[in-house]
Amino acid sequence: MTQETTQETTEETTIEYIVGGDIISWCTKCKLMLNHTIVALVDEFPKKAKCKTCNGNHNYRSEEPKAKTPGGTRRTKKTDFENQMAKLEEGYDFSKAKKYSMKGNFKKEQIIEHSDFGIGFILNVPESKKVEILFKDGPKLLVQNR
C-alpha cells in the first residue's frame, strides 16, 4: 500500500490586485519593505501604493532598490605594487624624484619619475645599461647609460 504524499501544487499563484488591497512594497520614505495599501492599478498591476507606516503615497516598488555603491564608481582594489609604492613613499622622499632618461645613470633605491609610468623606485641595477624600476603598474626593466 503506497501512501501518496506528493500533493502537486498546481494552483495558480496569480494574485489579483485590487485598489485598497494590501501589498508589501518598498517605501521610498521609510526606506523599508513595508505594508502598503494599493492606491492605483495600471494593467491590473499596482502602480501606486500608500505606506501604512508613514501614510505616504508613492510608486509601488516590488523590491528594495539596489544600493548605490558609496562614492559612485567602485574603485578597483589597489594592486600589490601600488601598496608597495605607498610603503616606499613613507621611507623615501618621492618629491625628489629624478626625471628618468635613457641617458641617465641611476643607482639602486633612487626615486625616478618616468614620463609614462610615473614615479618609480629603482629596485636593482642588474647591469650598467639596465635598471629595474618598480612602478605602480609593476616592475619594469629600462635602459640607462645610452
Spatial contact of 137 and 123, defined as CB atoms under 8 Å apart: no
**Site residues for Zn ion per CB under 5 A:** 27, 29-30, 51, 53-54
Tell me how crowded residue 45 is: count the other CB atoms within 10 A of its CB.
11
Nearer to Zn ion, 57 or 124 (CB): 57
Smallest separation, CB 11 to Zn ion (Å): 32
User: Which lies closer to Zn ion via its Cβ, residue 26 or residue 100?
Assistant: 26
CB of 24 to Zn ion, least distance (A): 12
Residue 104: exposure state from Cβ atoms within 10 A (0-12, 13-18, ≥19):
middle
- CB closer to Zn ion out of 37 and 110: 37
- Name residue 1's amino acid: M
Rounded to 5°, the CA angle 34-36-41 comes to 135
Q: How far is the CB of 16 from Zn ion (least distance, A)?
A: 24
Shortest Cβ distance from residue 21 to Zn ion (Å)? 17
Looking at the Cβ atoms of 46 and 120, the one nearer to Zn ion is 46
Write the DSSP string, 50-98.
EETTT--EEE--SSPPPPPPTTSSPPPPPPHHHHHHHHHHHHS-GGGPE
